[in-house]
Amino acid sequence: MKADVLGPRLLAAIAVVIAAMTIGILAFVSPFPVAAHALVRWTARTSLVMFSLAYVARPAVQLWPGPVTKWLLAERKWIGLGFATSHAAHLAGIIMIASPDFGAFIRAQPPTNAVAALTFLALFAMAVTSIERVKRAMPARAWKMLHRTGIHLAWISFAATYVTAIGASPLYAIPSAVVLAVAAVRLSAFVRGVKRAGLRAA
């Protein structure tokens, strides 16, 4: 099946799963504040999975070219939009938690959460500029800069969230390891690219 056919179906499937999970949590978990916190936790996990796949798509092809990695790269746009969908539900959960007193909620946030706020804005911009008509209207350099900056902001946000939480619970070492592993994949691909460029220049 061609990627341009599979991609929208893949995104639709992701959206259905996220919607079903959201409805299930809100319908069957009580009281409401507990449900909102559960929604935030579970959407953080689904977001991490899709972010990780999108983050390593290109470097994975560079390091391990094959049908699976090439498929992953071909579907990166739709997986990235799935990440944005999951994070929209994540934001909805945060708003539910904050809704009794938005002012108090914002004042209670540590300064590092400013990165998370920037990540939400960047994800929204990336999702909008993933529309082909909008993408074509943008200078290619600006589009690449936006998406490169946004994806790295997301990495910083995940790293800041999970690595700093290991002290509260050792279980956070698992998502922290995932975040560090995807960074290692990108770094490895970058180093290999630099070495190859040096050999060609020589």
3-class DSSP string for the chain: CCHHHHHHHHHHHHHHHHHHHHHHHHHHCCCHHHHHHHHHHHHHHHHHHHHHHHHHHHHHHHHCCCHHHHHHHHCHHHHHHHHHHHHHHHHHHHHHHHCCCHHHHHHHCCCCHHHHHHHHHHHHHHHHCCCHHHHHHCCHHHHHHHHHHHHHHHHHHHHHHHHCCCCCCHHHHHHHHHHHHHHHHHHHHHHHHHHHHHHHHC
Q: Please determine, for residue 1, whether its predicted confidence score (pLDDT) is greater than 60.
A: no
pLDDT at 202: 63
* Number of independent structural domains in the chain: 1
Q: Please determine, for residue 198, whether its predicted confidence score (pLDDT) is greater than 90.
A: no
pTM to 2 decimal places: 0.92
Structural domain of 64: 3-201
pLDDT at 5: 63
